[in-house]
Structure 1
């Protein structure tokens, strides 16, 4: 097992992507120190404690993104830190407090702690494709995006894309701090994440699939681009296990999926399903060419087809009685 004898930390351990990262790490033999807001909240922790290997090699720690030093006990003695803890919500009444402050201050809090822990050799940051697809000037339909493209905070702000802004500012702050403090930082930039859930409650991206099942098209768009949560988790673990891994890794499905194609897959479960009509222009920028996951393939990851991810999402939702 790759991780035998190695200790790593996962922040925001009860989240959608983080739960899968914890699962994979335990399966590979790592000892995992995961942070959660409240270790006594069984609804948030039972699914982690039930994972294979958790009894022997999983410890839960209380931590708060805005509380300076609150990650110290969890990070102490770790050789790598996966920082996934960050708010995910496309709409916020108070974007500064609900999104930006939590994302940026939380990231800096974790990185500052890492500078004080000599055992930490690499930090893997869960960012988002949101930090890529709002550059200045805007992307055109024939533009190819890769890891060298960065969203411009002013574009996010002008378009009131507060979640995109929070992720862009947090990643930018992390890269600058890592460079100044000689931290080996690797950044994962996933697209829209779907796939089976381990946690017992819906999260935003899987909720969008529930909306489809209910005939709603959340973003009112015709084309969609998904990436499987299991692939995203594996990308995180592979960047730890690949010494040469560096910089950013975009991970997103190789092709767009139309609403009709989604409908077709979901009709296997719901024969009468009709998803609401879409407008020509969706609210999410998808004006980029498909070959955007070349770098992540160098880690040896084969991306899961969207149809498989959608089916497995529905099966896990049914299993957890969330439909």
Structure 2
């Protein structure tokens, strides 16, 4: 679709996924209203202002998830709001304050602003596969997880999976508010995003990938990663807006893969990367693998990036930013 003349909003635009979303929207001709937490912080703004088309069609707005009405000016006049802003932390001291309140109340804050805009056609909400796979019964060998799977906030909390709880509760709140207020909401549920980094600071997932290949330090408790290329996640958001038939939620996971397989790919691509050899000595029992269905999101026209390409591009990006050397 040609985005010429169409105005959209991206919340939390300085983040890993959101930066790519802004880049791809600008490339399609859209005019983008992008919100960041602080206009005074060059780490939040400079990489966005440097994107092709930014000078002509990108406007930055300061907005806070905690402040009522904070997003009113950014969403005004838009035909779509892409709500990506939400904290990503896996170790927290105060889960309510650090994760749940910003995710849930922040989402409702954005949706309240969106509900005031007559021109708005759709809200595309960035949820997570974390809001899919942590139910009373988790996925086991042979299962195919799809959009009919839902995480249970209580199970997440019992397992101290506070990020998962926050994303689940935020998605539930978004669906409820949208139904009650006549908003057309589509949710995107991506896995663990890897790929080239646009922003100057490491995202949680990029840092987790770096620690895995450099130190053999697992971010996943079971050594299983639901990987997806960040560019595919950004494109899924755009397709979910552009296709009028898009509805409900979309799982966006390229591969469910064990860390030992990741290391084999890394060793094949970069035999000189001595760090990755540390993982070869481990004798951990590989857990059973399941699949995440691509069928629904591929029906929108999404083509997944091959896993080896994603891993290679991630490592090249980390090298370019001098975060990984070999």
Contact 2:86 2:102 survives alignment (8 Å)? yes
- 1:274 matches 2:295: no
1:256 positional shift: 2.9
Name the CA distance, whole Å, in 2 between partners of 1:275 and 1:227.
Answer: 24
Deviation at 1:136, TM superposition (A): 2.2
Query: What is the distance in 2 between the residues matched to 1:250 and 1:151?
Result: 13
Against the structure 1 CA distance between its residues 138 and 317, is the aligned structure 2 distance closer, same or farther, given a 3 Å change threshold? closer
Q: Which runs of 5+ in 2 are unaligned?
A: none
CA contact (8 A) 1:222 1:279 kept: no
Between the aligned partners of 1:85 and 1:220, the Cα distance in structure 2 is 25
Inter-partner Cα distance in structure 1 for 2:303 and 2:146 = 18
Deviation at 1:141, TM superposition (A): 2.6
Report the TM-score, using the length of structure 2 for normalisation.
0.93
Q: Please say which of residues 37-46 and 178-187 is displaced more in the overlay.
A: 37-46
Distance in 1, Cα, partners of 2:212 & 2:143: 29
Between 1:220-229 and 1:178-187, the stretch displaced more is 220-229
Tell me which residue corresponds to 1:106. Answer: 106
* TM-score when normalising by structure 1: 0.94
Superposed CA deviations along residues 286-315 of structure 1, whole A, max 9, x for unmatched, are x66325111000011111121111110011
Residue aligning to 2:237:
236
Distance change >3 Å, CA 187–CA 275, structure 1 → 2: farther
**For structure 1, which segment, 217-226 or 12-21, has the greater mean C-alpha deviation from structure 2 after superposition?**
217-226
Deviations, residues 37-88 of structure 1 (Å, cap 9, x unaligned): 1112112211100000000000000000000000001000101000000001
Residue 138 (structure 1) shift:
3.5
Q: Give the CA RMSD over aligned residues.
A: 1.6
Aligned length: 318
1:309 aligns with 2:310: yes
How many Å separate the matches in 2 of 1:93 and 1:301? 38
Specify the alignment match of 1:129 in structure 2. 129
Q: Give the match for residue 55 of structure 2.
A: 55
